Amino acid sequence: MKRYEDWLPRLNYFIDISSNREFSWGSFDCCLFVCDGIYVLTGEDVAKSFRGNYSTESGAVVQLKLHSGGSVAETTEVITKKFKMLEWSTVHLAQTGDLVLLTDGPFAWNDFNGALGIVLGQNIAVLTLEGLTFLPVSAANKAWRV
């Protein structure tokens, strides 16, 4: 995957406008937030196979099951392989704009067994039901190069 030359200002603008949006299944949820971020950086729509196909939490579960075993983690593995995103050996190597998976702590209990985020320096942006949240990179379990 190749990033646009001006990917950093694009990412900064995307994070800025995302901070004012409310969570919405099928249009602005944790997976689509990250997929939209990848699109902003690269022009590649990694969510095209499920974008627009759900608008509820139960619909999201159905889409995850259609694309993998039913979890965010499994679907992320499928998509990162399909788009040839290389997995970092440790999350601490991830750089700004990269994709991360969180499966521990508050993200372990949900029906999706995880959440996705975007690396922003030493932090990651994760979309929760309450809105955009920032956590340390160490909160992530896996990371991929975008």
pLDDT given at position 98: 98
Whole-angstrom distance, CA of residue 94 vs CA of residue 99? 8
At 66-119, the pLDDT tens digits run 877 778 888 899 999 999 999 999 999 999 999 999 987 666 556 667 889 999
Residue 113, C-beta contacts closer than 8 angstroms, at least 6 positions apart: 71, 72, 73, 103
pLDDT given at position 21: 94
Helix ranges restricted to H, the chain: 7-18, 30-42, 57-67, 72-82
What is the domain partition of the chain in residue ranges?
7-144
Dihedral angle computed from the Cα positions of residues 133, 134, 139 and 145, in that order, rounded to the nearest 10 degrees: 110
Out of 1-5, 54-58, 64-68, 126-130, least confident range: 64-68
7-144 placed in CATH 3.30.70: no
Entry pTM: 0.92
Whole-angstrom distance, CA of residue 88 vs CA of residue 25? 29
Collapsed DSSP state (helix, strand, coil) of residue 59: helix
Nearest to 83 by CA among 52, 116, 112, 43: 43
State yes or no: pLDDT of 33 exceeds 90. Answer: yes
Query: Contacts for 106-112 with beta carbons within 8 Å, 24 or more apart?
Result: 111/57, 111/61, 112/30, 112/60, 112/61, 112/64, 112/71, 112/72
Helix axes 57-67, 72-82, angle to 10 degrees: 50
